[in-house]
Amino acid sequence: MKTLSARYRQAHREARWAIGLALAYFLWWYVSAYGFAPAINDLSMPTLYFGFPLWFLLSCIIGPIVFTILCALMVKFIYHDLPLEITDDKPHE
């Protein structure tokens, strides 16, 4: 991957994956925090899992762990080391 255009393609690919993972994490957090939270009118004690309500467990404990692992996998398999030397797309004549 020595040409500048190949590096730009790889950089754009990595950026799309990073943005996609960030949006997926926000969606996970939003759905688990607000989707599993008890209704406002419900004043009863929620069911606890490991001492936490389900919405908190999913959005604030399991979510960060899952997405940290996904981020590490993304860096390992999607990201590539790029050389800093620039070579032209077209050979010099």
**Going residue by residue through the chain (93 aa), what tens digit of pLDDT does each one get?**
567 788 889 999 999 999 999 999 999 999 999 988 777 777 777 788 888 998 899 999 999 999 999 999 999 999 988 877 766 656 555
State the pLDDT at residue 87. Answer: 62
Buried b (16+ CB within 10 A) or exposed e, 55-79: bbbbbeebbeeebeeeeeebeeeee
What is the H or E stretch that residue 52 is in?
strand 52-53
- Tokens 């599993």 map to which residue? 36
DSSP three-state, residue 50: coil
